[in-house]
Amino acid sequence: MIEREDTVAYIARLERELQAARDRIAALEREADIHTRYARQLDQRLTSLLSISAALLIGRDIEHVVSLVVQQATNLFPGTSAAYIYLLDSDGEGRIQLKAAVPEHEPSVLISTLAEMASKAPRAMLLNGPELEQLIQYETHRVPNEGCVVPQSVLLAPLRIENQRLGALIVCSDQFYHSFLPRDLPFVQALADLTMIAIDEILQRQRAAALQRDLVHTQSLRAEAEARLNAAQAQLLQSAKLAAVGELAASVAHEINNPLYAARNSLYLVEQDLPPDAPQRTFLTIAQQELGRIARIITRMRDFYRPSRGELSSTNINALLRETLELVTTHLRHNHVVVHAHLANDLPVITAHADQLRQVFLNVILNACDAMPNGGELTVKSSLIAARPESPAALAIAISDTGVGIAPEHLPHLFEPFYTTKPHGTGLGLAISAHIVTQHGGRILVDSQPGEGTTFTILLPLEVPKAE
Ligand code: ADP
Ligand code: MG
């Protein structure tokens, strides 16, 4: 009997021990399970952080980076109900502003207050229910009411680069069973640091691009200034040369005038004494005519270099062209040059120095003739060019020849005084012509094909600029 009782107690004890062992095993299993889950979660988080960092580093702009971060935050922290990124405003007043939110909605005043606080914090923080409520009361001096839902738990991380405060990352959970844990802190700090590295990278890229643009701009300004300086120097040189020519011409005219006057006078006296039928009279007349011609050349030369001689008057350009052509008809015919004139009927009369313009046309026509030593065709065209946004209405006079053309190396120098390729040329015709046309507010353009011919186009505005 005793034996049986002992056995029963013994079995009961064994059963209790067995149960205890089973409980321990279950507890160990649970613990192992927790560890496995935690390890899996850790693994997931690291993978997730790695993929975020890869995505961030190729981020194109800041908007793209911040919206990616708030999305990833909800994946990285299970139980997240909302995530926000605030960044310092660029207005320099040191305020932070919401840049990205998931879900997309206006955050409460509470969240903004938390963000302001987090942006000044030295490192990531975790705040749970009661602390959170305390903090809100302290920060906002008011009890959170129905209008202000207090999250269950919040992860905050400052966004900063080298101690410079730039904003905050906030991750909230509303679920009671999903409070965040201290072990989440390194991850939220890591996410914040990654975000800042990505933003810094973008800012630096933008700064580099801006610097590059500035540099290009400065270089083009410099080139422009240099070009203007060169043009001004060339113009100065040209003017100086022309002035020298003018002075020379005036003094030569003066020097020649006196002996010329004496010679003409003497011839006049000889003429008086000569009988009307003397055979020498023919030669005397020739001598007088030629001296008269010299006198006229001298006057023309002197007048020519005198700046802005005469009055501006209403000038009919077509009439002026016809007159000039008439003047050289014999010369052209002698050189086997055929003339074509295409003069537009609708040309308005312009205000100009007619004498000076006649001189320009003459210079260009004579050059064209010189360029056709074996004859050729000379075409003179006039036309009206309508006003355009970049240039006012103008007259265009195109004088073309079928002559030798101009070699490219001569082109840049044509309008320089004394630049000539002719054995007996003066190199003054085009320099003076350009001067006159510029005084009229116009331009001379050259287009030449060596071996085929040349066109000089003279553009004259309908109104001479006032500054003249
Ligand atoms: P010049 O006629 O005394 O040489 P210009 O100033 O009138 O001086 O002309 C300068 C140079 O321009 C000429 O020597 C010539 O080389 C060139 N030139 C001007 N017009 C023409 C043209 N129609 N065809 C070819 N070359 C020309
Ligand atoms: Mg000439």
Give Dmax over CA atoms of the chain in angstroms.
197
**pTM metric for this prediction:** 0.48
Give residue 374's pLDDT: 95
Residue 113 in contact with residue 156, Cβ under 8 Å? Answer: no
Give nearest CA residue, ligand 1 atom 22.
368
What is the average per-residue pLDDT within 122-151? 71
361 Cα: distance to centroid of ligand 1 (angstroms): 13
Give residue 148's pLDDT: 58
pLDDT bin (cut points 50, 70, 90) of residue 468 is very low
Query: Is beta strand 82-88 parallel, antiparallel or unpaired with respect to 164-173?
Result: antiparallel
Asked whether the predicted pLDDT for residue 155 surpasses 90, the reply is yes
What is the average per-residue pLDDT within 348-358? 89
What percent of the chain is predicted at pLDDT more than 90?
Answer: 38
Give residue 465's pLDDT: 61
Give residue 152's pLDDT: 85
Q: Tell me the ligand closest to 452's alpha carbon.
A: 1
Give residue 176's pLDDT: 73
Q: Which of 54-58, 396-400, 441-445 is the most confident on average?
A: 396-400
Mind listing the pLDDT tens digit for each residue in 301-324?
Answer: 676 555 554 578 899 999 999 988
Residue ranges covered by each domain of the chain: 59-206, 310-461
When mean pLDDT is compared across 19-28, 167-176, 264-273, 302-311, the lowest value belongs to 302-311
Mind listing the pLDDT tens digit for each residue in 27-40?
Answer: 999 999 988 888 88
Burial of 157 (0-12, 13-18, 19+ CB in 10 A): buried
What is the average per-residue pLDDT within 384-393? 87
Give residue 92's pLDDT: 64
Give residue 157's pLDDT: 94
Asked whether the predicted pLDDT for residue 55 surpasses 60, the reply is yes
- Assign domain 59-206 to a CATH class: alpha beta
Give residue 141's pLDDT: 61
pLDDT bin (cut points 50, 70, 90) of residue 146 is very low
366 Cα: distance to centroid of ligand 2 (angstroms): 6
pLDDT bin (cut points 50, 70, 90) of residue 178 is confident
2 Cα: distance to centroid of ligand 2 (angstroms): 151
Asked whether the predicted pLDDT for residue 290 surpasses 50, the reply is yes
Q: What is the DSSP letter of 347?
A: P
Q: State the Cα–Cα distance between residues 404 and 378, nearest whole angstrom.
A: 13
Give nearest CA residue, ligand 1 atom 16.
421
Give nearest CA residue, ligand 1 atom 12.
414
Mean pLDDT, the chain, rounded, equals 86
When mean pLDDT is compared across 141-150, 204-213, 338-347, the lowest value belongs to 141-150
DSSP one-letter string for 86-151: EEE-TTSS--EEEEEEES-SPPPHHHHHHHHHHHH-SS-EEEEHHHHHHHHHHHHSS---TTSPPP
pLDDT bin (cut points 50, 70, 90) of residue 213 is very high
What is the average per-residue pLDDT within 156-182? 87
Angle at 385 between CA 384 and CA 389, to 5 degrees: 150
Give residue 175's pLDDT: 79
Residue 173 in contact with residue 152, Cβ under 8 Å? Answer: yes
Give nearest CA residue, ligand 1 atom 19.
367
Q: Tell me the ligand closest to 365's alpha carbon.
A: 1
**Protein residues with CB under 6 Å of any ligand 1 atom:** 363, 367-368, 371, 401, 403-404, 406, 410, 414, 419-422, 425-431, 454
Give residue 149's pLDDT: 66
When mean pLDDT is compared across 289-298, 325-334, 363-372, 406-415, the lowest value belongs to 289-298
Mind listing the pLDDT tens digit for each residue in 79-113?
Answer: 898 999 999 887 667 788 899 998 888 888 788 88
Mutation probe of ligand 1 site: the residue of 241, 362, 366, 430 with most atoms within 8 A of C-beta? 430
Asked whether the predicted pLDDT for residue 452 surpasses 70, the reply is yes
356 Cα: distance to centroid of ligand 1 (angstroms): 19
Residue 76 in contact with residue 198, Cβ under 8 Å? Answer: no
Q: Tell me the ligand closest to 417's alpha carbon.
A: 1
DSSP 3-state of 427: coil
Q: Tell me the ligand closest to 399's alpha carbon.
A: 1
415 CA: nearest ligand 1 atom = 6
Task: Assess whether the region 59-206 and the region 310-461 belong to the same CATH fold.
Answer: no
When mean pLDDT is compared across 233-242, 323-332, 426-435, the lowest value belongs to 233-242
What is the average per-residue pLDDT within 59-67? 86
Q: State the Cα–Cα distance between residues 421 and 419, nearest whole angstrom.
A: 7
What is the average per-residue pLDDT within 367-395? 93
Mind listing the pLDDT tens digit for each residue in 376-385?
Answer: 999 999 999 9
310-461, superfamily in CATH?
Histidine kinase-like ATPase, C-terminal domain (3.30.565.10)
Give residue 24's pLDDT: 93
